[in-house]
Amino acid sequence: MTKPKVGIFGLTGCAGCQLEILNLEEQVLNLLALIDVSYWRMAQELPADPTNLDIAFIEGSITNEEEIHEVKEIRENANLVITIGSCAGSGGVQGMRNIMDNDKVKAAAYKDLSGVRSVPVKGVDEVIKVDYKIRGCPINRDDFVSIVTSLLLGRQPHVWNSPVCNECSMQNNDCFFERTTETPIYRSNICLGPITEAGCGARCPSNGMPCDGCRGLTSDPHISQLVTEARKRGETTEKILMLAKRYSAGSSAVKKSFEEMR
């Protein structure tokens, strides 16, 4: 059997999802026995061949014209395109400028804006067809291995179709959504577990912090119930939406889900 030819690409982001792949440690070598990585700029100089790929993994969001061009080229050269992480999947945190006053955001970062060329932040599937999204900010390396294994075996990758709450209750965590005590200074009084897709093992609630929705909306999210509850706690709709779209303001599908709620 010839090994599938794989490329790993980075657009604009923190490079954490690529790093999470490197963080597989010894397992990287096991993986390399099964796939042929022909393009991965972060880890290797050569070979650097981004053509005729069986699988292209894309990390990072689209923030300028060059990246629009680049993802189109990747699509033409790859049989399967898989996004890794929230930036490639739905824009990531930098996408928040789409729902803020864009000029003010840019002016806060630069005194002189003449050299800045940027477009509204986009997840990759706003520009090209994406075959599968690996969720999370960052992705979970076990998730990555499980999905790559499925693909190598010709199976459909696993889809959870359930909210983080399900995993959280299995861990016997105290519920951050059913607030019973005063909210401490270090965290939000809203937990996004009820509307967020599972698969992380309820990572944040298990570490003493509420879910902030990095894996994106679950299927059939009960958004209006969450918003009603948050309003009761004194939050404005605007602030709730800013929190709920922290990682996904570069996704038109997410925008649509929230519009339907309104």
Partner 1 sequence: MSEDKRINLEYIARVEGYGQLVVDIENQQLKEAQFRVLEGARFFEGIVSGKKHHEVPIIISRICAICSVSHSVVSTRAIERAIGVEPSEQTHALRKLLIYSETIQSHVLHEYFLALPDYLGKTSAIDLASTHPELVAKAFYGKKLGNDMQRIIGGRAIHPIRNVIGGFSKFATTEELTNLRDRLPQLIDETMETIKILASLPDQPTIGSRRDFVAIHDPSEYAYYDTDQLISGHSGPFPAADYQEHLLEEIRPYSHTKFSTLKGESFMVGALPRLNLNHANLTETGKEAFEYSRLILPDYDTFHNNMAQLIETVDCAQLSINLLDRFIADGFEKENFEYDLHPGNGTAATEAPRGLLIHQYTFDEDLRCSYSDVITPTAFNQLKMETDCEDLVPRIATKPKEEIELLLNMLVRAYDPCISCSAHSMKVDVKFV
Contact positions vs partner 1 (CB under 8 A)? 10-17, 19-20, 22-23, 25-26, 29, 32, 37, 41-46, 48, 61-64, 66-67, 92-94, 96-97, 100, 104-110, 112, 114-118, 137-138, 184-188, 203-204, 206-209, 212, 243, 246
Nearest approach in angstroms of CB 154 to partner 1 is 26
Q: Is 85 left (phi over 0), alpha (psi -120 to 50) or beta?
A: left
- Given a contact cutoff of 8 angstroms between Cβ atoms, the answer to whether 249 and 121 are in contact is yes
Tokens of 189: 């009084």
**Distance of alpha carbon 35 from alpha carbon 148, whole angstroms:** 10
Q: Are 116 and 97 in contact (CB under 8 A)?
A: no
For residues 171 and 138, give the distance between their C-alpha atoms in angstroms, rounded to a whole number.
Answer: 21
Comparison of 182 and 260: residue with beta carbon closer to partner 1: 182
Which one, 28 or 150, has the nearer CB to partner 1? Answer: 28
What are 213's two structure tokens?
């929705």
The smaller minimum CB distance to partner 1, of residues 103 and 220, is found at 103
Q: How far is the CB of 20 from partner 1 (least distance, A)?
A: 6
Closer to partner 1 at the Cβ: 183 or 219? Answer: 183
Whole-number minimum distance, CB 156 to partner 1, in Å? Answer: 27
